[in-house]
Structure 1
């Protein structure tokens, strides 16, 4: 999935809504049993799974859409192209894919479809231009990742593709380059094509291949990073040490402790009013620049919020899962919450 300005997914967790993408007036939810397509204006819901259309996918790890509205699914059974209710699956039998476990999919601006495939403990990257496939792995490129937690594609204005899976890789359209590490965990890009990376407690700014340590005040694992429209860099940490959020304004760091209600910050986004929203394992928090608010309204009381899309159809959309199998999505229009779970909307689980 990748919504505009928001391209991060955490794939392996207790969340039943794995991913979100948005286009036109539709919100697509990748779940552990097919997908849901919701019209955000009418709230009409279309459920697509094996039972009703024969969709050959159970777990949908990643969703994205191409410029023509085609939906692409990264699944446990391959890469699926979906147009309306017509689908086609690419897998080991009809493509160069070395395996059928597609952990991430990204639709580039030029129409290329990128996917990250896990097979025999190795990650391969595939590019499909609609006619031909290109595959990159340890046998023909610098791609040499055997594991990882976050699998993420980011595209900069030049069309170069960055891929994160422990190491950071860059594809300039012809050649790959690699920035080795101990373990890069997550990344973000600003409007000037600078890349921000976390490695343990360290935050780097990468500009034209040059790494600068931003000297983050956090001494624990940084697990989420986000650049807002004002070019502030926001960093969330793991469930160790203090509950904290960090902001870098280009010169200095500010640490926010008071009001943070959960250790795990899974995702950070901002809305049109430049409020910062935190998706945490304890719910959704809003930071207006001075105070934090936590809001469970419209969310299950034990929501583990994993993914957020801001500013879509003037609403904030949240995907989350909970320990009691009551995961779902919620929307917030600035005043009211609406919650959609498999119990009240037919949402797949």
Structure 2
């Protein structure tokens, strides 16, 4: 059935509906080595990087180049679990068998492997590399390459470490399979003093908002922490969160373990899942590229969302009817839309229906 589609400009307060985004999926049929996309990154040269269980895929927008185990890469195994793009523009790669590689301006530098799956990497402001592992705790590699290990005996709630972030005060927050802790300036492991819903549960994702407050994504929901001793605020309850990404101060993208992709804006939570084109409901990574494309790593390939130049309006958005016969741009700044079921007016992002029985005509000027 015909609907109305036209170009609209968006402002900071105007966010396109999810249904109006251009959607595209890429998978092994398009050249990816594997459909599980564990990690996403974009380097300064514009290349997009996808980490998979069958190697690293570099994408130039048209084709993929695959990097796997070889003397060039130094990777001990093809499986790649995580990326970290540091403040110097280097791309760190962590592998399924503990491979650790840094890529800078096309040069691959391998470090001694750890022999265990690496879940996350973080180069902090003190140039210390933090390495989260699956079963051997947390490692810190200093600028000289020396490594120090943190285990349960040192205060970790679990030796399965899933997430890392540095806050604005230099604290290193560590999400484990059994709760959240942080390291202070003396690199001592501290547990948050306030009892919190993210204690004793898997913490998979961490992010900082514009105010420097910590968002904590867990198996049981999403929570906002305003400080180590503050009582957390529940943002989403009973939603298993796997990835977090701020598009800007107002828009938060949330990847979930089994419920697809969520977007929060203006107090509203929207959902996009396989029924709306997502290749798989398990989200593993999120990336906003330099052109504001959102890339979503899933278990079924990579998914791209781009703000389309056109928005579509139908009766679901408030049109009187879906069969549009005429459109008029008025000097009052509104758009008037005539359909088989009446006249609608589009003003300031809002569609309403005009009651023609209440309209008077004076000369060529109409007023409602």
User: What's the TM-score, normalizing by structure 1?
Assistant: 0.61
Indicate conservation of the 8 Å contact 2:216/2:222, yes or no.
yes
Residue 289 of structure 1 corresponds to which residue in structure 2? none
2:290 maps to 312
Q: How far has the Cα of 1:44 moved from its partner? A: 6.0
Tell me which of 298, 303, 308 is aligned to 1:334: 308
In the alignment, which residue of structure 2 is the partner of 1:90? Answer: 112
2:181 matched residue in structure 1: 169
Q: Which has the larger radius of gyration?
A: 2
Distance 1:51 1:157 in 2: 38
Gaps of 5+ in 1: 1-13, 92-96, 263-281, 284-293, 337-349
Among 125, 144, 158, the residue aligned to 2:157: 144
Closer/same/farther in 2, CA of residues 130 and 305 from structure 1, 3 Å limit: same
1:170, CA displacement in angstroms?
Answer: 1.3
Given that residues 37 and 46 in structure 1 are in contact (C-alpha distance below 8 angstroms), is that contact kept between their aligned partners in structure 2? yes
User: Shift of the alpha carbon at 1:127?
Assistant: 3.0
Checking the alignment, whether the CA contact within 8 Å between 1:223 and 1:236 is kept in structure 2 is: yes
**Aligned counterparts, 1:24-35, within 5 A:** 24=44, 25-35=46-56
> Equivalents in 2 of 1:303, 1:197: separation in Å?
20
Q: Distance in 2 between matches of 1:237 and 1:245?
A: 8
- DSSP 3-state at the match of 2:191: strand
What is the aligned counterpart of 2:68 among 39, 44, 49? 49
Task: Give the TM-score, by structure 2 length.
Answer: 0.59
Structure 1 contact 122–145 (Cα < 8 Å) conserved:
no
2:40 to 20, 30, 53: 20
Matches within 5 A, 1:194-209: 194-198=213-217, 201=220, 203-209=222-228
Match of 1:191 in 2: 210
Does 1 or 2 have the higher relative contact order (CA < 8 Å, sep 6+)?
Answer: 2
Residue equivalent to 1:5: none
**Aligned match of 1:127:** 141
Root mean square deviation of aligned Cα: 3.7
Per-residue CA distance 1:116-149 (angstroms, 9 max, x = gap): 123xx4423323324433322234x21231446x
Structure 2 unmatched ranges of 5 or more: 1-33, 193-197, 311-368
Q: Any idea what the Cα deviations from partners look like across 1:254-302, whole Å, max 9, x if unmatched?
A: 565xxx454xxxxxxxxxxxxxxxxxxx27xxxxxxxxxx4x3xx75x6
Give the direction of change, closer, same or farther, for the CA distance of 1:247–1:48 in structure 2 (3 Å limit): closer
Greater CA drift, 71-80 or 121-130: 121-130
Confirm or deny: 8 A CA contact 1:122 1:144 kept in the other structure.
Answer: no
1:62 Cα deviation from its structure 2 partner: 0.4
1: distance between equivalents of 2:223 and 2:110?
Answer: 40
1:256-295 matches, within 5 Å, as: 260=271, 262=273, 282=274, 294=276
The separation in 2 between residues aligned to 1:309 and 1:63, in whole angstroms, is: 11
CA displacement 1:86-118 (0-9 Å, x = unmatched): 332312xxxxx5x43222212224432211123
How many residue pairs match? The answer is 264
